[in-house]
């Protein structure tokens, strides 16, 4: 199941990537991720493994991940897995004059019994994830555009 959102930010790709490409700074705009830990970091980031923890109400979900793509000021991709689902997500930056367009594309698949549950709940979950992604990108925009 695919999701795609984007936002225009009045800032340079370098400034946007400053907030987007560093896990510590990303924690300031990502509302769902409560903590993370780097397991093994590679020099060029591709292949870096990590764990991140996402809070959904009372439940915390551990996601195990690996960086699959990392091009400074252009974008990055990650492969994440939990006990319930697999997520491949890519953030890309495209400069257009004084605007940097940030696009987020995600492919989500579910494991085990969740495959069947999601047949019925996917429309609601898709709406919720899309709204959350848009809120997070709006916060990223706010951080990138401050002091301009």
Percent of the chain with pLDDT over 70: 99
For 46, list phi and psi in degrees, rounded to 5. -65, 125
Q: What is the three-class DSSP state of 75? A: strand
Taking only the tens place, the pLDDT of each residue in 69-121 is 999 999 999 999 999 999 999 999 999 999 999 999 999 999 988 888 887 88
Task: Report the C-alpha gap between 37 and 42 in whole angstroms.
Answer: 14
Range of the domain at 63: 2-145
- Per the prediction, the chain carries an average pLDDT of 93
20 near 11, Cβ under 8 Å?
no
Count of structural domains, the chain:
1
5 near 129, Cβ under 8 Å?
no
Task: Report the C-alpha gap between 4 and 124 in whole angstroms.
Answer: 16
Per-residue pLDDT, averaged over 127-145, amounts to 94
CATH number for 52: 3.30.530.20
pTM over 0.75: yes
């Amino acid at each position: 199941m695919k999701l795609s959102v984007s936002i225009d930010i009045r800032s340079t790709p370098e400034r946007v990537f400053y907030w987007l490409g560093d896990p510590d700074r990303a924690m300031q705009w990502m509302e769902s991720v409560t903590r993370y830990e780097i397991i093994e970091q590679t020099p060029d980031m591709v292949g870096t493994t990590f764990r991140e923890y996402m809070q959904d109400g009372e439940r915390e979900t551990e996601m195990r991940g690996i960086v699959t793509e990392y091009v400074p000021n252009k974008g990055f991709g990650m492969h994440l897995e939990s006990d319930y689902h697999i997520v491949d997500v890519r953030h890309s930056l495209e400069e257009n004059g004084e605007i940097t367009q940030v696009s987020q594309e995600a492919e989500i698949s579910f494991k085990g019994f969740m495959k069947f549950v999601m047949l019925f709940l996917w429309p609601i979950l898709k709406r919720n994830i899309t709204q959350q992604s848009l809120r997070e990108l709006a916060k990223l925009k706010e951080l990138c555009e401050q002091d301009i």
